[in-house]
Chain A
Amino acid sequence: MAKFNLNINGEDKTVDVDPSTPLLWVLRDHLNLVGTKYGCGIAQCGACTVHFNGSAVRSCQLPVSSLEGSKIRTIEGLSENGDHPVQQAWLEIDVPQCGYCQAGQIMSASALLESNPNPSDEEIENAMNGNICRCGTYSRIKAAIKAASKSQIA
C-alpha cells in the first residue's frame, strides 16, 4: 500500500492503495464515485472512460501510481447540475437506454468536442468507436454529438 495524492473533479484526494490499482477501482471502491463503470477490465469497451488532463482514457488500465500531478475528471465532475451540452443533448435525443455505458460515452463525446468543437460524421465515428453500447444507441450518439456541437458553437 502507498499514499497517492490525486486531483479528481477539481478536488484533492488522498488514497492509500496498492500502486498497481487501476484508477477505475480507486474511483469506485475508495472514493465511491461509481458513475464510472466496469465493463471488461481490458480497455475494450469504454465503459470506464474518464478525462485524464482533458483526454478520454480508459480508467481500468490506468494505474494509480501514474496519476500524480494530473487532473482527472469523471462523469460526476463533468458539470455542476448535469447540464453540460453533451448531457443535455443526450437527454433530448434519448440516447441512454439501460444507461450503463453512457457515462463512458459522454466522457468520450465531451473530450471529442473539447478538442474538436465541430466534428464530421467520420470524426465522430472514429472518436466513439471504442465505446461499446449493447443497447445499440449509436445512431442517436452521433445525432446527440452533432446537437451538442451546435449548441456549444451557438
Chain B
Amino acid sequence: MKTIKASGIGNPIDRIEGHLKVTGKAKYASEFPVENMVYAQGVNSTIAKGKITSIDTSEAEKLDGVLAVITYKNAEKLKNYPKDMTNFSLTTVAPVFQDRQVHYYGQYIACVIAETFEQAQYACRLVKVTYEEESPDIHLDKNRGKAYKPGDSADFSRGDMDAGMREADVTLEQTYTTPIEHQQPMELHAAIVNWNDGKVKMYANQQILNQATTSISETFGIPKEDVQIITPYIGGGFGSKLNVYKHITMATMASKMIGRPVQITVTRHQMFTNTGMRQFDEQEMRLGAIKDGSLTALAHHTTSHTAKNLQYFEACGNVSKMLYKTPNNAVTHRLIPLNIQCPSSMRAPGEATGSFALESAIDELAWKLKMDPIDFRIKNDTQVDMGADKPFSSRLLVECLRIGADKFGWENRKMQPGTNKKGNWLIGYGVSAASRRAPYMKTSAKIVLELNEAALNANIKMDATDIGTGTYTIVAQTVSEYLGIPVENVKVEIGDSEFPVTPGSGGSWGAASYCNGARKACENAIAELKKKQNITESEEIEVAELLQQNNLTTFEAEGTAEPSEEYKKHSVFSFGANFTEVWVDKDTGMYRIKRMVNVGSAGKILNPKTAYGQIIGGLTMGAGMVIAERTQVEPNYGNFITRTLADYHVPVNLDLANIDVVFLPEEDKIANEMGVKGIGELGITSVAASIANAIFNATGKRMRDLPITPEKLIEAGLEPGVA
C-alpha cells in the first residue's frame, strides 16, 4: 500500500502544529474568546488542619464587579469521596466546599466570581475566615506509627530475602530519599466553563478527556455525555493535568450559579498547593551478591505520605521487581497520612524516584564487589520479568549499555574516585539503566476520506491530547502511512471529548495507543471500501482509486485497536541507559553536568525529531531532580515554603549539558501491530542515579538524598575504600 507520496512513520518531519507554536497562534485553554465571560478565583486556607468557625464574605461581595462568593454555606451538594482514603484516580470526583473541615494548608475554602480577573483576585483577599485550629500532622518522623499498607498491590515477595542475604558475599543496606517535587508545567491550569441548561461545555487543559468527563459528571450527578471538554493545545502536563482538580469544580459550580461562562486560571502559588505533586519518598534498599556479581537478594521498601482523606502512592519498588535477575526479592510500600495535599503522578511516577534508589544501590554494590558497574548490570540481566513471571516482549538493555558505553567513551573512566582531575575540577563518569512500562490501551478513531479531483484528503478525529509530545504529528504520519497519502493531506482533530475515545496522554501509553487507533480506522476504511467492490484484502490498490470505483467522493470509517493476546502474555517495557559526565569543584562542591549520552530501546520510533525532544525533556527534568528541585514544607504550619518559581528551582538554559540521544533500531511487534513503545517517561527514568553515580566517581562521596546541593556534597564523607 505504501506509495512514494507517503511521508509516513519513521520520518523526522517537522511538527505539523509547529508554525502555530512559533507565532503565538496555538490557543490554550484560557484563550478562547467567549462572550459574556466572568472570572473565578479560589481562596486558600491558611491553616493545615481544623475547622472553619466563621467566614465573612460581606466585604468581598460589596466590591465593584463581584457577582458572588461561594463557600461551604451556599455551595451546592456534590458527590463526595465514596469512602475514607479513596484512591485518587483519573475518575475520582472533585468535591469542594462540602463541609467546614480543613485538611491541608492551601485547601480551597471559598471562591469569588467577578467581572474581571483583577476584581476576583482582589476580592479573595477580603474574605475573612476564622478557624478552630488543630495541630497538623506534618512530619513523617513524628507519625511513623500511622503507617499503613495501601492495598494488596503494595507488597510483593519472591523467594526468601533473608536466605538470599545470608548467601551473599557482599551486602548493601542503604536508605535513599527524594523530596516533594512539583510538576509545574509552564501553562497554568485553566478552564472556561459554561453550564447551559444542565449541560457543561468547557475549555480545560486536561490530559485525559474521557476520564475527566467521568469525574466531572459524577461530581455534579449529571450524565457523562452532557460534559464536553475541548483542549486542542496543552501547555505541558507532566502528570499535573491527569486528574480533575477542584478549580474545575469551582468554575462549573460558579457558571451554574451565575448563569454565565466562567474562566478560572489558578495562580502559580496554587499550582503548588492545589494541582498535585510528587510525594517525598524514603526508600530502604537491601541487596546481596556473590563474588561473581550474581545478585542473591534485592529488597526495596518505600515509606511515603498521602493526604488525610485521599490515597495515592507512586510505586517506587516496582522497578526492583523486574529489572534484574534475582531469586529473592521483596517490595513494600507504606503510606503515612499527613495534612498535606494528596500527591499525584509526576513524570514517570515510581520509576523516576524508584530507579534513583535502585540504580544508586546497584552502583554501590558494584563498587563493593570491585566490578565495573556496566558489567555488574549485564551479569544480572534477565529476559524474563520475574516480578510478573512473564517474558519481556523485547529487552535490549544490554545493547543499550554496551552501545552507550562505546559512544560515551566509558573506557576512559577511572575506577578509583577522585583520580580524574583537571585543575580544581574532579571529573566523574556515571551510568544507570532505565526501564519504563510501555502500555498500549484500547483506542478508537474516526477517519473521514474526501476525494478532491484525484487528491485524497483524510480527516482523523480522536479524543487524544497533545501535551507537547507530538501527537498531532505522529497521528498524521500514521494516517499518511496507512492511506498512502502525503502528510499534508491529513488533518488531525484531537482534544475534544466528543471524538472517539482514547486513553489520553499519560503513562507513556499515548503514542502507541493513538497511532494504533488511527491505523485501525484507516485499515477499516480500506477494508470496507474493498468489500463493497469484492476486491480481495491482499490486492494493492490506491485508496483514491477505491473511492472512485465505489463512485464515492467521501467515506467515513471508525476503528478500535486493542492489545492482543500476545501482548497480555508478555511484559512490555522500554529500556535505556544513561551516561553522565560531571565536573565537581573540589573546594566548593559546585558541580556541572558536562555531557550526557542516552541510548533508548523503545520499539519503532515514529518520528525521530519529536522522539528526541521527549528524551531531552526527560533528561532535563531528571537533572532537575538532582541539581535543584525540592519543595520545602514548613514543619509547624504545613505550608510550602517554596511556592513560586523564584524559590522552587527548575533547570534553566545554563544548567544543561551537551546531550546525545540514540535510539536502537527496533520494532516490537508483540507490543502492538506497529511495533511502537512509549518514550515520554523513559528519559527521566534513572537519570538522577547516573548523575549521582558520576558524582561518586568524581568525589568518592555517595549522595543518597536529592537534590544534591553543594553544601551537602561538602559535608558528606568519603565512602569506605576510597583512597
A residues neighboring B (CB under 8 Å): 18, 21, 25, 28-29, 32-42, 44-45, 47, 74-76, 78, 82, 87, 90-92, 94-103, 106, 124-126, 128-142
Tell me the B616-659 residues at the A interface (CB within 8 Å). Answer: 616-621, 644-646, 650-656, 658-659
Decide if A45 touches B186 in the complex (CB within 8 Å).
yes
Q: List 12 interface pairs A-B (beta carbons < 8 Å), by A numbering.
A: A35-B23, A40-B644, A45-B186, A45-B645, A82-B22, A90-B22, A92-B14, A94-B609, A95-B22, A98-B237, A138-B651, A139-B659
Knowing A100-B185, A136-B620 are in contact, say whether A75-B23 is a contact too (CB < 8 A). Answer: yes
Q: Is the CB of A132 within 8 A of B621?
A: no
Given contacts A94-B612, A136-B618, A139-B659, 15 further A-B contacts (CB under 8 A): A34-B27, A37-B28, A44-B645, A45-B186, A82-B22, A87-B22, A91-B19, A91-B22, A92-B14, A96-B468, A97-B236, A100-B235, A133-B186, A134-B185, A134-B186
**When the two chains form the complex, which single residue of A42, A94, A125, A134 contacts B236, counting CB atoms closer than 8 Å?**
A134
Interface of A is mostly: loop
A129 adjacent to B22 (CB under 8 Å): no
Known contacts being A135-B236, A136-B616, is A100 close to B646, with CB within 8 Å?
no
Please, which residue of chain B has its CB at the minimum distance from the CB of A29? Answer: B117
Residues of B within 8 A of A47 (CB): 186
Cβ distance B38 to chain A, nearest Cβ, rounded Å: 13
Q: Tell me if A97 and B186 are in contact (CB < 8 A).
A: no
Pick the most buried of B186, B234, B237, B619: most chain A CB atoms within 10 A of its CB. Answer: B186
Return B121 CB to nearest CB of chain A, in Å: 10
In the complex where A76-B24, A100-B185, A131-B653 touch, is A140 in contact with B646 (Cβ < 8 A)? no
Q: Indicate whether B79 reaches chain A with its CB closer than 8 angstroms.
A: no
Most buried by B among A92, A97, A106, A142: A97
Contact of A25 among B117, B236, B610 (CB under 8 A): B117
Interface contact A74-B24, CB-CB below 8 Å: yes
Report B-chain residues with C-beta under 8 Å of the C-beta of A39: 186-188, 268, 645
> Is B92's beta carbon under 8 Å from chain A?
no
B268's contact among A40, A96, A102, A139, by CB below 8 Å, is which? A40
A28 to chain B, nearest CB (A): 8
Q: Measured between alpha carbons, how far is A39 from B118 in the docked complex, in Å?
A: 16
- A137 and B659 CA atoms in complex are apart in Å by 11
Residue of B nearest to A102 (CB): B21
The 8 closest A-B pairs by CB, nearest first: A35-B24, A136-B620, A100-B235, A98-B468, A99-B21, A97-B468, A75-B24, A136-B617
Instruction: Give chain A nearest CB distance to B399 CB in angstroms.
Output: 25
Known: A132-B186, A137-B617. A100 touches B236 (CB 8 A): yes
**Chain B residues whose CB sits within 8 angstroms of the CB of A82 once the complex forms:** 19, 22-23
Q: Which of B22, B616, B653 has the most CB of A within 10 A?
A: B22
- Whether B2 sits at the interface, judged by CB under 8 Å, is no
Q: Which residues on the A side are within 8 Å of B24 (C-beta)? A: 33-36, 74-76, 103
Interface contact B268-A41, CB-CB below 8 Å:
yes
**Closest chain B residue to A74, Cβ basis:** B24
* B209 contacts A by Cβ under 8 Å: no
B423 within 8 A of partner (CB): no
Within 8 A of A (CB), among B12-33: 14-15, 17-28, 31, 33
Residues of B within 8 A of A124 (CB): 653
Contact B14 A139 (CB under 8 A): no
Residue of B nearest to A108 (CB): B653
A46 to B652, CA, bound (A): 11
Set of chain B residues within 8 Å of A126, measured between Cβ atoms: 654
Residues of B close to A125: CB separation below 8 A: 653-654
> Could you count the A-B residue pairs with CB atoms below 8 Å apart for me: how many are there?
166
**Chain B interface, >50% SS class:** loop
Q: Are A136 and B22 in contact (CB under 8 A)?
A: no
Given known contacts A94-B613, A137-B613, is B468 in contact with A99 (CB within 8 Å)?
Answer: yes
- The distance in angstroms between the C-alpha atoms of A48 and B17, with both chains bound, is 21
Interface contact A139-B650, CB-CB below 8 Å: no
B653 and A135 within 8 A (CB) = no
Interfacial chain B residues near A136, Cβ < 8 Å: 616-621, 651, 656
On whether the beta carbons of B184 and A134 are closer than 8 Å, the reply is yes
A18 partner residues in chain B, CB cutoff 8 A: 118
* Minimum Cβ distance to chain B for residue A104 (Å): 9
Contact A142 B186 (CB under 8 A): no
Indicate whether B440 reaches chain A with its CB closer than 8 angstroms.
no
Q: In the complex the two chains form, what is the Cα distance from A92 to B18 in whole Å?
A: 9
**Complex contact A94–B186 (CB within 8 A):** no
Nearest residue, chain B, Cβ from A82 = B23
Most buried by A among B15, B23, B619, B650: B23
A139-B658 contact, Cβ under 8 Å, with A100-B28, A124-B653: yes
Given contacts A38-B188, A40-B268, A138-B653, contact A98 B31 (CB under 8 A): no
Contact yes or no, B26 A99, CB < 8 A: yes
Chain A residues, CB < 8 A from B27: 34
**Does B265 make an interface contact (CB < 8 A)?**
yes
Q: Which of B591-611 contact A (CB under 8 A)?
A: 609-610
In the assembled complex, the Cα of A103 lies from the Cα of B645 at a distance in Å of: 19
Chain A nearest Cβ from B319, distance in angstroms: 22
Cα distance A104–B1 in the bound complex, in angstroms:
43
B691 close to A (CB within 8 Å): no
Contact B644–A98 (Cβ < 8 Å): no
